[in-house]
Amino acid sequence: MSRVRQEVVFVDGVRTPFGKSGEKGMYAQTRADDLVIACVRELLRRNPELPPERVEDVAIAATTQIGDQGLTLGRLVALLSGLPNTVPGYSVDRMCAGALTSVATIAGQIGFGQIDVAIAGGVEHMGRHPMGEGVDPNPRIIAEKLVDPSALVMGATAENLSDRYPQLTKERSDAYAVNSQAKLAQAYADNKIQPDLVPVATRHADLGWGLATTDEPPRPGVTMEDLAGLKTPFRDHGKVTPGNAAGLNDGATACILASEKAAKELGLATKMRLVSFGFVGLEPEYMGYGPVPAAEKALKLADLSIDDIGLFELNEAFAVQVVAFLDHFGIPDDSPKVNLYGGAIAVGHPLASSGVRLCNQLARQFEDHPEVRYGMVAMCIGIGMGAAIIWENPHHADYAPTAD
């Protein structure tokens, strides 16, 4: 039996505007599955060259897989998005890296030659389904001292990271957060965010119908002084505040992945080509450090060094974990290579959906920076994991398509 390895390309990606969770948020009474359905429908509309029947799988991630985020979400999304009933689908859960895991698993199918075109994405409605809702962690994980109790509280793990590396001060985290807000505001001003946002019709029993067109969480113009006096909810006199961490958010993402050969055959765009990916585990108490070993794994698999990476999209669950990554690799906190459009501290982090947002922003940046050959997407993951994916820029002079 012959099997042919195929190159995997990122064709297109979209997302909903991200909302604030809770009764005052714009998606308070909007179903979670409808958010990701809107993304898939928009992908099909934007890519008319792709016959719906050519989509061979749909992988949708959600951290809390109950209610309108449950029941094999990928399959239901496929059906409700207008794809033929011959298109299968499945659900993914790797907490914050759910959408990145959707991308990696779909890429594995394509790379192994089993399918040619598929959709990956994620959704999280933290207003309807707070992280941890309905879960029952086995008490032995604490009783048998496999992990410290703080490992189950993500904010507490961020405080632990600050303890382990004293140079990761609150002032550095606050400064990073201020810069993230400023970069997102500039990206909006430069129309870098809007092209990939999917307008979403919303409905509220008291407020009536609405249309979500822009992100709700950003705080443009925030200053160091604004952040200095914020409370530290995870520890008295701690370093993690609502100002230097991502909030609780609602939103969805989706993207089309294809073999390079199929993309050429169908006339689909190639915005990025997959180089390598790495998922790792580490001490759950220090989960924010996960992107470091994940990046090292992905770099080793690609036979690249950190100096080969010209653009980074790092999830900003907490500023301290981004600064820890930058410290390890000797990258300045304010490097122009990092999160050009700002990050989750400003735009929000609807857990399992965020990975595709990072990929899509990297793809958009590749268009503007043909001098950059490789870019990296990386995230920390709850319960002590990390993820990293390296992509190649098709606009670079040394990019060589392999499709016949």
Q: Which of 111, 128, 106 is nearest to 359 (CA)?
A: 106
Q: Is the pLDDT of residue 404 over 60?
A: no
Would you state the pLDDT for residue 100? 98
Residues ≥6 apart with Cβ < 8 Å to 181: 218, 219, 220, 221, 222, 342, 345, 346
Q: pLDDT over 70 for what percent of the chain?
A: 99
Region of 57 please: left (phi>0), alpha (psi -120 to 50) or beta. Answer: beta
DSSP per-residue string spanning 350-395:
-GGGHHHHHHHHHHHHHHH-TT--EEEEEEEETTTEEEEEEEE-TT
Residues ≥6 apart with Cβ < 8 Å to 73: 33, 36, 60, 62, 65, 89, 91, 123
Would you state the pLDDT for residue 3? 67
* Cα 348 to Cα 18: distance, rounded to the nearest angstrom: 6
Would you state the pLDDT for residue 144? 87
Coil, strand, or helix at residue 28? coil
CB atoms within 10 A of CB 166: 7
Q: Is the pLDDT of residue 343 over 60?
A: yes
The owner of tokens 């499945």 is 90
Q: Is the pLDDT of residue 46 over 80?
A: yes
Which domains are present in the chain? 140-193+274-392 (3.40.47.10)
Would you state the pLDDT for residue 142? 85
Which of 147-151, 342-346, 377-381, 396-400 bottoms out in mean pLDDT, i.e. has the lowest? 147-151
As a whole number, mean pLDDT of residues 162-190 equals: 97
The residues annotated with a catalytic role in the active site are: 96, 349, 380
H helical segments located in 73-153? 73-80, 98-111, 140-143
* Cα 279 to Cα 298: distance, rounded to the nearest angstrom: 8
Q: Is the pLDDT of residue 182 over 80?
A: yes
* Cα 17 to Cα 13: distance, rounded to the nearest angstrom: 13
Q: Is the pLDDT of residue 329 over 80?
A: yes
* pLDDT tens profile 259-304: 999 999 999 999 999 999 999 999 999 999 999 999 999 999 999 9
* pLDDT tens profile 79-134: 999 999 999 999 999 999 999 999 999 999 999 999 999 999 999 999 999 988 88
As a whole number, mean pLDDT of residues 13-42 equals: 97
As a whole number, mean pLDDT of residues 231-258 equals: 96
* Cα 402 to Cα 404: distance, rounded to the nearest angstrom: 6
The owner of tokens 């298109």 is 87
